[in-house]
Chains A and B, each alone.
Chain A
Amino acid sequence: MIDFINFYLFPGLAIGSVYALGAVGISMIFGILRFAHFAHGDLMTVGTYGVLAAAGIIAINPLLLVPFGMALAIVVALLVDKVFYQPLRTLPTIYTVISSFGVALIFRSLVQMFWGSQNQVFNSGGVRPPLVLFDTFRISVLHVQAVLATACIAVALHFFLSRTRTGRSMRAVSDDPELAEVSGLDTEKVVRWTWIIGAALAAIAGLFVAMDTSAHPNLGWNLLMPMFAAAILGGIGKPMGAMAGGYIIGLAEELSSYHWIGNEALISPSYKTAVAFVVMIALLIVRPQGLFKGRLL
């Protein structure tokens, strides 16, 4: 039981936080710009390497350098939207999907060009001992930080979307873009904010993964599938749903390799990624609008 909590439940929550932060962006982009953003994983990678670059110059805890990664991801996302996605906006959205598929590749090759393709470990001042609670629970400090940060972000995002003018405009455009236009809302501003938030959260998520393991050019791409699954699970256009979806997928992945029956892992850990896919497919069959009644695009 203790093992279950230490080695499955907490890691599940930690990776769930990462998926949650990534899926929010995917869900908002899908809701507002109406296309599945295939470069979102690689946008995460870009943000992560932004922090990595800063960490090479400033020797403090990389978590404190996350603004550098966020800034890089935001600038890159806005630039890509302007140069590559915006010219395609009048076409069927599938062209933008194809374009984003290409942008994923562009991001990755740029990262490889500048930083090489080897694994890079964050130098965070040696291995930190885990938190020990009641002499039994041993939790990685980083995992706790990831969960707490995600919780704070969720609260802030909820406040932003429900109280501020920009947030409400974003929800309005996501709800009905034509009516938003009739209401005279500034759609381009909404699109800008969508990228800003999506990219910033992607950078944070990428950093947590990289600090937990290591940074490498495929870091984000490998997370894309579970993030899509989480976004669909939560219902497109439901940011809080996407966050919940992230945790569900994260827990499902980790808990599926627990030895529920006998001593064998229920599903071999090497098939973890497949769990997200199976959940997504099952959902598309049974309830494509997601658990929280999102929109079906």
Chain B
Amino acid sequence: MELTGLFFYLVSILIAGGIYALLCLALNIQWGMGGLFNAGIAGFFAVGAYTSAILTTEMSTKHLGGFGMPVVVGLIGAGVLAGLMGWAVARICVRLKSDYLAMASIGIAEIMRLVIVNESWATNGSLGLAGIPRPFGEFVSGRSADLVFLAYVWAVVLIVYLVAMRLYDSPWGRSLRAIRDNEVSADAAGKNIEKFRVQTFVIGCAFMGVAGGLSAHYFRFLSPSATDPLLVTFLTWVMLMAGGSGNNRGAIVGGLGIWTLWSVTEIFVNRLPPEWVTRSSYIRMLLVGLLLQFVLQKFRAGIIPEKSPPIRFRE
């Protein structure tokens, strides 16, 4: 096979890794810059996935739409809807201690899951949505389509990275970090804390929606199980923490790195004695859980720690 097989295995890791890198960048805007705890990443991811899928699939009797629109429109729609949902949550919780935002975001993710499973007129319930197009799907097919999609995903990652860098380095980003590091003094300086925090949360959620959209286009099929709330939310947190919260490059490295680790461990645990293979996914979960504890205690700065950008003076 074996080289082509290995090559496309690598491609699949890079695609999924890119989608996770996107989630990490989004979470980094919320947590790394704004200090906001989002425990419902999967919810925003799912909203984005379903929005983009419904917007881009062909007309169907099984679910809402489809509207047959281009993938770009689908992704923008995904961002807008996820952002709106984030706005609603943030408006209510942002003024309270971050624990409340965590509870509310996990609640909204849970409700999104219920809606997706129960409202089959829109989502086709647990049967899921099929025939979701890939970008440029009319030009390429087969395995080379994966390569095109790989480029597409990383182009989006690059765009979001540039946006995040701009945000980070802007006066807006600096105020945000001031708020995160020292709420009192930023308040005294007259910054409008609540408004800034809501904005951070909304931007982060919108990018999570885009990531969800991309995953729907990647798999071409979408069912409620594809957005397993725990796995998506949890992996993203571990990735950002390990990569370096507050650092956009760290977010990408963490996303890609942990995803690679996660995928490669799958190969290893599959070689365990048969009575353990069925339990392999639990062992991996356990290890990720322990990894998070390790990072939190001993490695909080991450692989690429946060560096405050130098303050530039206008000439």
Contacts and interface: CB of A to CB of B under 8 A. Distances in A.
- In the complex they form, whether A and B have CB atoms below 8 Å apart is answered with yes
A285 to B, nearest CB: 6
Interface residues of B, number: 39
A273 B117 CA distance: 13
A35 B99 contact: yes
Contacts of B286: 105-106, 109-110, 113
A284 B89 CA distance: 11
Interface in A266-297: 268, 270-271, 273-274, 276-277, 280-281, 284-285, 288, 296-297
Contacts of A97: 37, 98-99, 102
Given A270-B118, A274-B111, A288-B96, A103 B289 contact: yes
B97 interface: yes
A117 B283 CA distance: 13
B292 interface: yes
Contacts, number: 117
A285 B37 CA distance: 19
Nearest to B99: A36
B138 to A, nearest CB: 39
Nearest to A94: B98
Contact of A284 (B92, B118, B297): B92
A283 to B, nearest CB: 10
A30 B99 contact: yes
Given A225-B110, A284-B93, A105 B279 contact: no
Nearest to B280: A113
A36 B293 contact: no
A271 B292 CA distance: 32
Contacts of A103: 289, 293
Nearest to B180: A92
Contacts of B96: 284, 288, 296
Interface in B96-117: 96-100, 102-104, 106-108, 110-111, 114, 117
A228 B103 contact: yes
B38 to A, nearest CB: 11
Interface of A: 30, 35-36, 38, 83-84, 87-88, 93-95, 97-99, 101-103, 105-106, 108-110, 112-113, 117, 224-225, 228, 232, 268, 270-271, 273-274, 276-277, 280-281, 284-285, 288, 296-297
Q: A-B pairs with the 6 shortest C-beta distances? A: A106-B289, A36-B99, A102-B292, A109-B285, A277-B107, A109-B286
18 contacts: A87-B297, A94-B37, A95-B300, A98-B37, A99-B292, A99-B293, A105-B286, A105-B288, A106-B290, A109-B282, A109-B289, A110-B282, A112-B279, A112-B282, A270-B117, A274-B111, A277-B111, A297-B99
Interface of B: 35, 37, 39, 92-93, 96-100, 102-104, 106-108, 110-111, 114, 117-118, 230, 234, 237-238, 241, 279, 282-283, 285-286, 288-290, 292-293, 296-297, 300
